[in-house]
Amino acid sequence: MPEKPLATIHIKIQTRSDGTVYISSDDMPGLWLWGKDHDQVFRSIVPTIEELYKYNEGRAVKAREAPLSRFARWFAQEKINDKYEIYPVAQLNEQTVHGR
């Protein structure tokens, strides 16, 4: 992956009193995830970002969590990251594209 990401997506994480977690982002229109199963919601962040970027921007990309500083890791206690970086997908082999 290239060193510089195409974009950085900041997400907002809210947990309601009933235990439902809500994920949204001002950087990516349409990124709305919610549910009571926190692990399932968090596992859905990356594939949702990739699909929305493909839909909104017309490009296939890979999303990954942005690296955290040592202080941020300690403060977050290794929990969910709130920043994701977007990278372009490597060009497919020409033979794969034509089905050979």
- Whole-model pTM: value is 0.74
- Residues of the chain falling short of pLDDT 70: 1-2, 69-80, 90-100
SS3 53: helix
Please tell me the predicted confidence (pLDDT) of residue 83. 87
Please tell me the predicted confidence (pLDDT) of residue 37. 93
- Determine the Cα–Cα distance for residues 94 and 84; give it in Å rounded to an integer: 30
Instruction: Give the CA angle between residues 48, 52, 58 to the nearest 5°.
Output: 140
Please tell me the predicted confidence (pLDDT) of residue 32. 95
Provide the 10 A C-beta neighbour count for residue 81: 18
CATH topology of domain 7-89: Double Stranded RNA Binding Domain (3.30.160)
Q: What is the pLDDT of residues 71-82, one digit of tens each?
A: 555 555 556 678
Please tell me the predicted confidence (pLDDT) of residue 89. 87
Nearest alpha carbon to residue 68 among 54, 84, 57, 56 = 84
